[in-house]
A and B are shown apart, each in its own frame.
Chain A
Amino acid sequence: MSGGRFIRKMQGLFGISPAGDKSKEKAIKELIEKLKERKKLLRKELETTTDIRQRESLKDSIKIIKKQIDKGKDIL
Chain B
Amino acid sequence: MKRLILIITIVGLSYVFMQSNNILNISAGVAIFLFGMLSLEEGFRSFAGGILEGVLKKFTNKQYKSILFGAITTSIMQSSSLVSIISISFISAGLISLAQGIGIIFGANIGTTTGAWLIAGFGLKVDIAKYAMPMLVFGTIFMFQSSKKAKGLGYILAGLGFLFLGIAYMKEGFDAFKASIDLTQFSVDGIKGVLLFTFIGILATVVMQSSHATLVLIITALAANQITYENALALAIGSNVGTTITAVIGSLTAGLEGKKLATAHVLFNVVTGIIAILFINQFIKVVELTAGVLHVAQDDYTLKLAIFHTYFNVLGVALMYPFISTLVTQLNKIFKKKASVGAEESDDVRFINDIALDFPDTAHKVLIKETRHLYYNAFDIISRGLSVYKEDITSGMEVDDIIALRNEPLHVDLEELYEKRIKDIYGKIINFAILAQGKFGEDVIRDIVPIKNANISIVEAIKATKHMQKNMIKYLGSNNEYIKEQYNHIRKNLIKHLRSMQVIFNSSEEDVAILLLSKLKFDAKKYDIAANKALDNLIRNNQVPYSMATSLMNDTTYAFNIASQLTEVASTLFVHQDKNLREEREALILNNADIAKMSNSATKEVAI
- List chain A positions with a Cβ less than 8 A from chain B: 9, 12-15, 23-24, 27-28, 31, 34-35, 37-38, 60-61, 63-65, 67-68, 71-72, 75
In the complex, what distance in Å separates the CA atom of A28 from the CA atom of B581?
A: 9
- Whether B584 and A24, one on each chain, are in contact in the complex, defined by CB atoms closer than 8 angstroms, is yes
- Whether A64 and B584, one on each chain, are in contact in the complex, defined by CB atoms closer than 8 angstroms, is no
Chain B residues in 8 Å Cβ range of A14: 51, 54
Chain B residues in 8 Å Cβ range of A63: 598, 602
- Whether B590 and A68, one on each chain, are in contact in the complex, defined by CB atoms closer than 8 angstroms, is yes
B522 within 8 A of A: yes
B514 within 8 A of A: yes
Known contacts A35-B515, A68-B590; is A13 also within 8 Å of B581 by CB? no
- Whether B594 and A28, one on each chain, are in contact in the complex, defined by CB atoms closer than 8 angstroms, is no
Known contacts A31-B514, A35-B514; is A61 also within 8 Å of B519 by CB? yes
B116 CB to closest chain A CB (Å) equals 30
Which 8 residue pairs spanning A and B have beta carbons closest together?
A34-B511, A27-B584, A13-B54, A64-B518, A38-B511, A35-B511, A68-B588, A28-B584
Chain B residues in 8 Å Cβ range of A60: 519, 522-523
In the complex, what distance in Å separates the CA atom of A8 from the CA atom of B492?
A: 51
Which of B58, B514, B598, B602 contacts A13 (CB under 8 A)? B58
Chain A residues in 8 Å Cβ range of B580: 23
8 interchain pairs, CB-CB under 8 A: A9-B58, A27-B581, A28-B584, A31-B514, A31-B588, A34-B509, A61-B515, A71-B588
Given contact pairs A23-B580, A34-B510, A68-B514, enumerate 10 new A-B contacts (beta carbons under 8 Å): A9-B58, A13-B54, A28-B584, A28-B587, A31-B511, A35-B511, A60-B522, A63-B602, A64-B590, A67-B518
A58 CB to closest chain B CB (Å) equals 11
B70 CB to closest chain A CB (Å) equals 18
Known contacts A35-B515, A67-B594; is A13 also within 8 Å of B510 by CB? no
> Could you tell me the dominant secondary structure of chain B's interface residues?
helix
- Whether B50 and A15, one on each chain, are in contact in the complex, defined by CB atoms closer than 8 angstroms, is yes
In the complex, what distance in Å separates the CA atom of A37 from the CA atom of B523?
A: 23
In the complex, what distance in Å separates the CA atom of A15 from the CA atom of B518?
A: 31
In the complex, what distance in Å separates the CA atom of A61 from the CA atom of B585?
A: 17
Q: Which of B504-527 contact A (CB under 8 A)?
A: 509-512, 514-515, 518-519, 522-523
- Whether B51 and A71, one on each chain, are in contact in the complex, defined by CB atoms closer than 8 angstroms, is no
B55 within 8 A of A: yes
Chain B residues in 8 Å Cβ range of A24: 583-584
- Whether A13 and B55, one on each chain, are in contact in the complex, defined by CB atoms closer than 8 angstroms, is yes
> Could you tell me the dominant secondary structure of chain A's interface residues?
helix
Which of A13, A27, A65, A67 contacts B51 (CB under 8 A)? A13
In the complex, what distance in Å separates the CA atom of A30 from the CA atom of B440?
A: 32
In the complex, what distance in Å separates the CA atom of A60 from the CA atom of B515?
A: 10
In the complex, what distance in Å separates the CA atom of A7 from the CA atom of B590?
A: 37
Chain B residues in 8 Å Cβ range of A72: 587-588
A55 CB to closest chain B CB (Å) equals 15
In the complex, what distance in Å separates the CA atom of A38 from the CA atom of B510?
A: 11
Chain A residues in 8 Å Cβ range of B523: 60
- Whether B54 and A71, one on each chain, are in contact in the complex, defined by CB atoms closer than 8 angstroms, is no
Q: Which of B536-586 contact A (CB under 8 A)?
A: 580-581, 583-585
Chain B residues in 8 Å Cβ range of A67: 518, 590, 594, 598
In the complex, what distance in Å separates the CA atom of A9 from the CA atom of B54?
A: 10
Known contacts A60-B519, A64-B598; is A71 also within 8 Å of B584 by CB? no
Chain B residues in 8 Å Cβ range of A34: 509-511
- Whether B512 and A38, one on each chain, are in contact in the complex, defined by CB atoms closer than 8 angstroms, is yes
- Whether A71 and B50, one on each chain, are in contact in the complex, defined by CB atoms closer than 8 angstroms, is no
Which of A27, A38, A71, A75 contacts B594 (CB under 8 A)? A71
- Whether A38 and B515, one on each chain, are in contact in the complex, defined by CB atoms closer than 8 angstroms, is yes
In the complex, what distance in Å separates the CA atom of A75 from the CA atom of B581?
A: 15
B526 CB to closest chain A CB (Å) equals 11
A46 CB to closest chain B CB (Å) equals 14
A43 CB to closest chain B CB (Å) equals 14
In the complex, what distance in Å separates the CA atom of A65 from the CA atom of B517?
A: 11
Closest to B360 in A: A15
Chain A residues in 8 Å Cβ range of B581: 27
Chain A residues in 8 Å Cβ range of B587: 28, 71-72, 75
In the complex, what distance in Å separates the CA atom of A65 from the CA atom of B598?
A: 12
Chain B residues in 8 Å Cβ range of A15: 50, 54
Chain B residues in 8 Å Cβ range of A68: 514-515, 518, 588-590
Chain B residues in 8 Å Cβ range of A35: 511, 514-515, 588
Q: Which of B142-190 contact A (CB under 8 A)?
A: none
Closest to A13 in B: B54
In the complex, what distance in Å separates the CA atom of A9 from the CA atom of B59?
A: 11
Chain B residues in 8 Å Cβ range of A13: 51, 54-55, 58
Q: Which of the listed residues B51, B518, B522 has the most CB atoms from chain A within 10 Å of its own CB?
A: B518
Q: Which of the listed residues B523, B584, B602 has the most CB atoms from chain A within 10 Å of its own CB?
A: B584
Which of B510, B511, B522, B590 contacts A71 (CB under 8 A)? B590
